[in-house]
Amino acid sequence: MKNQNKKNYHHGELKPALIQAGLEILEEEGLDGLSMRAIAARVGVSHTAPKNHFDGLHGLLAAIATEGFSRHATEMRKGVEHAPPGQERLDAAAQGYVRFARENPALFQLMFSPRFREKAGEELMAAGEESYGVLMSIAKDLNWEKAGPELGNDLESLRTELMLWVFVHGYASLLNEGKLPRTADGEPVFNVLDVMPRFRYNHE
Q: At what angle do helices 14-29 and 56-81 cross, to 10 degrees?
A: 80
Give the integer Cα–Cα distance in Å for 83 and 145: 16
169 binds a second copy (CB under 8 A): yes
Give the integer Cα–Cα distance in Å for 26 and 18: 12
Cα→Cα distances 173→24, 25, 58, 87, Å: 21, 21, 22, 23
Stretch that binds a second copy, among 20-28, 42-50, 63-71, 157-165 (CB under 8 A): 157-165
Decide which of DNA, a second copy, none touches 151; Cβ closer than 5 to 8 Å per partner kind.
none
Give the integer Cα–Cα distance in Å for 39 and 192: 34
16 binds DNA (CB under 7 A): no
Chain residues that interact with DNA, rule: CB under 7 A: 1-2, 6, 8-12, 14, 35-38, 40, 44-49, 51-53, 56-58
Question: Would you tell me which residues interact with a second copy (CB under 8 A)?
Answer: 31-32, 105, 109, 112, 114-115, 117, 128, 132, 155, 158-159, 162-163, 165-171, 173-174, 176-181, 189-190, 194-197, 199, 202-204
